[in-house]
Amino acid sequence: MLSVPEKKTAAAELFRDRHFFNSAFFTDLREARASLSAPGSQGTTQDPSSRRALLLRYHRLLASARDDPCDFDDNLAFTWHDAFRPHLKRTAASLRFEKAAVAFNVGSASSRIAAAVDRAAEGGVKAACGEFQRAAGAFRAAGKMMEREEDAVDMGPEASAMLERLMLAQAQECCFERALAAGTSPAACSKVAKQAALYYEETYASLVIPPLQNHFERSWVSHIQFKAALFNAEASYRYAIELHDKTEIGEEIARLQFGIDAIVDAKRTARGAPGSLYDAASRLEQDMNQNLERALNENNRIYLMRVPATKVLAPLPAASLVRSASMSEILDVKTESDH
């Protein structure tokens, strides 16, 4: 699973007498802001759960601002670095920009929490799924705050939508793992896998066109491209099992061939994807080839059904089991204490 790096920030001095914050919260707010940029507190050095708690606390305190303090102080501005290209930075005299960057880092922390969950442990898949949905909601919120801003690629509308889709794809992947573990029918598993593939496809499509093209590491792009192919293959494989049970052998053969082709193409083009993905794809390819050989033998000996061309196959049905959390859900203290 992919996690999103955190945006780094520079110190910003806040003053009670001219920044119009509620005085009852000002000391806490100033200390919280200082802790965001403190040496050793940024990046992966701090536990992501602790980091998120700090970010959420600061986000709540920012809500106590009656006005944008930048409107009353020409010297106050907030500086944040691009999460994916840290040498790029933007300074803006805008509390909205500050809030968006904090929301982005809440998403980053949630993604790191989710990626670190042991999904093989009891409740692990459910916990990871919930965290990915929180991350999706945080990235969506950051994007909405930055709709009218320019020169912030990692928080722009295209990047925010892409990151939201990526987090939903990984949450949907968790749902697929849970469905398999629960012994859910092949047809239902196929729908869940297909939706994961669609989320990954949408993510990949955003990464290969401007303004996101060449902004992300090639390994990231390859990982997402490979996941899209893998889940398209999973959907075809599970759907083909259902077709075999219905003795619809002709379409079964076509679906299996489609899935095998998807994996073969991904292995050829998605260079730089992790070895674990190649291993998973190879195991799935082997299973599909075995089923394809069986189906071809049965069709040649018994059924003699026409095999449709893969290009004329109807799209497989999909079922989304995830959604982006609202910012109020992300800020909810009960939600925080539950995970």
Same domain (yes/no): 69, 189? no
Would you say the C-alpha torsion 323, 231, 112, 95 has a positive or negative sign? Answer: negative
Same domain (yes/no): 92, 150? yes
Domain annotation covers residue 64:
yes
Give the mean model confidence (pLDDT) for residues 271-281: 92
For 330, the token pair is 């992300």
DSSP 236-276: HHHHHHHHHHTT-HHHHHHHHHHHHHHHHHHHHH-TT--HH
Domain annotation covers residue 70:
yes
Same domain (yes/no): 151, 7? yes
At 17-62, the pLDDT tens digits run 555 556 667 788 888 889 898 866 665 567 899 999 999 999 988 8
The one-letter code for the residue type at 271 is R
Q: Please check the confidence at residue 100 and state whether its pLDDT lies above 50.
A: yes
Residue 148 phi, psi (nearest 5): -105, 10
Same domain (yes/no): 53, 150? yes
The predicted structure's pLDDT at residue 333: 41
Same domain (yes/no): 189, 72? no
Question: Model pTM?
Answer: 0.93
For 19, the token pair is 């920044």
CB neighbourhood size of 13 (10 A): 11
Write out the residue range of the structural domain in which residue 285 sits. 185-308
Same domain (yes/no): 208, 191? yes
Number of domains in the chain: 2
Same domain (yes/no): 139, 275? no
